[in-house]
Amino acid sequence: MLNKKEQRLRRSRQTRARIALQRVARLTVFRSNLHIYASVISEDGQRVLASASTAEKEVRTQLSGKGGNVAAASLIGKRIAEKAKAAGVEKVAFDRSGFAYHGRVKALAEAAREAGLQF
């Protein structure tokens, strides 16, 4: 019997296998109870091109509460899109890391799309 974390990791492996065939940078998301993290990883999976999280000092000053809410996820989505564009990345594949596409994960993805990142 798989526990909740193992099920999520199993789903994420399936997604990453499909993304690897696309040969495009990937936008990965990880969420914990307190924070949300986003990274843009190169096509070969070797380098992190850009990253943003609610644990960063500049972001914490902009947040009204903790980093575990939809407003914080939207802020991180905009921030990761700006950093990715500065690094020369326009198109990515969205890797939700096995998390369901709703709530904070959805808010981050929509904010990144609005800020100009294509996926």
Tell me the per-residue pLDDT of 14-65, one tens digit each, with 9 for 90 and over: 999 999 999 999 999 999 999 999 999 999 999 999 999 999 999 999 998 8
Mean pLDDT of 61-76: 91
Mean pLDDT taken over the chain:
95
Radius of gyration of the chain (CA): 14
What does the pLDDT read at residue 2? 85
31 Cβ contact partners less than 8 Å away, ≥ 6 residues apart:
37, 68, 73, 99, 104, 105
Question: Class assignment of domain 2-113?
Answer: alpha beta
Query: Looking at residue 116, what is its pLDDT?
Result: 95
64 — phi, psi (to 5°)? -85, -35
